[in-house]
Amino acid sequence: MTSIFTRMKESINADLHYFLDQKEQKNPIVALNQYLRQSEQEKEKVRKLIERQYRLKEEFEREFLKAQDHAEKRAKQASIAEKAGELEMQAFAEREHAEYQERAVRMKQAREEAVEQLDLLEQKYEEMKHKLKDMHLKRMELMGRENIANAKQQINRVLEETTDKPFSRFAEMERYIENLEYKVNSSYYRSTFDSKIAKLEQELKENDKNIAQ
């Protein structure tokens, strides 16, 4: 059952990567956005490592000071035991002093190395931030160029469509209006024809009557 789910997951991931690859080929800005997202994630990891290195440096500093204090304390105690003739206590204090002294040396060296590594990390981190900023600006430039290219493409398409077609459309509209006007005028003429004939007939009768008188 596990192997089946594993194969399904791999198949889905393969299809997803294929889709992303196809999409990126159509629009390289998509690939750049993906790369920037990954770079930002890496930058965040580096930032956390730097914070951790700061904490380590401070911890090394505390351990160094603590070991140094204990070494000085044991040195004084060894001196007191020696004056008191307590050889066993003196030997214990001297052994403790040597161990604390060795630890202090080791912590001092570790702190110095941590500081050196921290300086290097901070330099690399600043360099990374500048690179990412440049990449973000470059993406803005590419997006601007893409917008201009798309706008020009749209303008060219509109211009191509309006080069000849509008005139044919205007001519077609003009013919439609002329036909409509003709129909309206013809209908009006038919509707008033009978009344005009009747009026002419009445006028002729009145003229004949006047002549007869």
Q: What is the pLDDT of residue 89?
A: 92
Q: Which of 89, 112, 108, 88 lies closest to 100 in space, CA to CA?
A: 108
Q: What is the pLDDT of residue 144?
A: 85
Q: How far apart are CA 53 and CA 46, in angstroms?
A: 10
Per the prediction, the chain carries an average pLDDT of 79
Q: Which of 108, 100, 105, 17 lies closest to 60 in space, CA to CA?
A: 108
Q: What is the pLDDT of residue 3?
A: 53
Q: What is the pLDDT of residue 12?
A: 46
- Indicate if the pLDDT at residue 41 is higher than 50: yes
| Residue range 175-198: mean pLDDT, rounded | 73
Local confidence band at 109 (pLDDT 50, 70, 90 cut-offs): very high
Domain boundaries of the chain, sorted by first residue:
2-163, 164-213
| Residue range 179-203: mean pLDDT, rounded | 72
Query: pLDDT tens digit string along 62-75?
Result: 999 999 999 999 99
| CB hemisphere CA count around 205 (13 angstroms) | 6
| Residue range 160-175: mean pLDDT, rounded | 65
Decide which of 140 and 12 is more confident: 140
Q: How far apart are CA 7 and CA 13, in angstroms?
A: 10
| CA angle, 29 then 35 then 41, to 5° | 140
- Indicate if the pLDDT at residue 92 is higher than 50: yes
- Indicate if the pLDDT at residue 17 is higher than 70: no
Decide which of 111 and 190 is more confident: 111
